[in-house]
Structure 1
């Protein structure tokens, strides 16, 4: 079995998000409707209130950053950080377009955040911590940035059996590309989803007063073809997994994924099974 190379993984991950930045931003309306409820809970569990200074780690195009900026108001600040400069440009553009002057962006590796120590009241990460090769380094960096008693909250996918909209393509790609099972501790979409795992990771990092909440978060779209387009355009993790296949083989895999996703079509449209875990802890 080939050893996991965290440096190569981060380089590839950054490149994928540089490429997928526009697509992810273009799907912003879906992201807001799909992830909005869990984001609200994440912000509540992180203690984000008017006047808070908030650090967003792996912010992407900044949808949750904007929701945080709305909560903190003009007396608060939000710093959106990400490893991809391209995707942060969309975050900054979205903030300007909606009149948020209390949101800044900074290109940063979440495992080594270059921000002033003890300067944030709260920190958040929506579906980002799962992709850090060294989660403890990322959490240590977040703790350093937080003020004493500041809270951190993260959203992650739960287990594959509860996330068919994503685990279905992952399993098909893994089989067709003959990829080995993930190594223990290897980053990936479901790496922190089992009951108590994310809470345990935060406890190991030194967080206390840990809270956990599991939430149903189905993906609603008109058809399975729309979900296929969403994932194909903007899910960098899937493209990473497909990297070893030829272009023709990749097309065959996407066709197979599309047929499999059709199982989630109902009379009301596509309903993709998804379950999220929200966990928070105090510094």
Structure 2
């Protein structure tokens, strides 16, 4: 792996480990939010009992834990760079009584599994953060058995995801954020139509499909929205760390105004949109 990709990987590992307590605290909320994307991945994988499934960028365990329940005579392996996240996944598996789920620290660009090991591979909201996405697609293709399926979920464009742009658009008005290098990991890196399909096709996948999921996420209140973003949003916290207290207060006031302008009925909902891409070996 090239040095620049190793640096990105190491930074991501540190960041996810740092924020794993926040993800643990808000796990129930985040898993409800992300469940439609996980369900769509599962639908596309067409799980059969006895399947061996790999869940990449497993985070706190989903959709791998749900998949494990669908293949009681098979198994699910969840991989992630951050051991702090996988500790939560293992605890969730134990709490749910799931016996056929295990975790392993692994880099998607160097998967520690033999060729043609898995019947299916899932990846929910991780692909856009891989340093070398083509290498990742190649590795996923390698570890799949012939006929095996890969399904991933990534965020659609920022204009469809005001659950995050509500706060980021305000921060960008007050904080000078360096422009990321072209192709750098980021939330909306895979939003362009056909982008991931092109990577999968180059890796060898066929029968590639793309679908979009839209919906709303209910934060109950602005204060809860603000708290969640401050505890799980690594880029948000990093940007806010560059500001003084008066600027932070101004940002919070402006975010609050924007949040409430999008909820004139008194609610606390924001929009999201995700893309589901599936391919077959």
Which stretches of structure 1, 4 residues or longer, exceed 6 Å deviation after superposition?
none
Gaps of 5+ in 1: none
CA distance in 2, matches of 1:268, 1:176: 27
Q: Could you state the TM-score of these two structures normalised by the residue count of structure 1?
A: 0.90
Q: CA deviation at 1:84?
A: 0.2
Compared CA separation, residues 162 and 144, structure 1 to 2 (3 A): same
Distance 2:125 2:18 in 1: 18
- Which structure 2 residues correspond to residues 124-135 of structure 1 after superposition, within 5 A? 124-135=122-133
Distance 1:66 1:260 in 2: 36
1:23 correspondence with 2:7? no
1:252-276 alpha-carbon deviations (Å, 9 max, x no partner): 5455434433333353621111001
Give the TM-score normalised by structure 2: 0.91
Q: How many residues align?
A: 278
Shift, 1:180, TM fit: 4.0
Deviations 1:118-152 (A, max 9, x none): 11000011001111111111111111111112111
Match of 2:201 in 1: 203
Structure 1 residue 172: Cα displacement: 3.0
Provide closer, same or farther for how the CA distance between residues 204 and 260 of structure 1 changes in structure 2, counting only shifts above 3 A. farther
1:46 has 2:48 as partner: no
Distance 2:236 2:133 in 1: 21
Match of 1:260 in 2: 258
Alignment equivalent of 1:76, drawn from 74, 77, 92:
74
Deviation at 1:189, TM superposition (A): 0.3
Q: Which runs of 5+ in 2 are unaligned?
A: none
Q: How far did 1:83 drift?
A: 0.3
Query: How many angstroms apart in 1 are the aligned matches of 2:219 and 2:213?
Result: 19
1:219 aligns with 2:217: yes
Deviation, 1:47, is: 2.4
- Per the TM alignment, residue 76 of structure 1 is displaced from its structure 2 partner at its CA by 1.2
Q: Deviations over 1:67-98 (max 9, x none)?
A: 111122x2010000000001100100110111
What's the secondary structure of 2:99's corresponding residue? coil
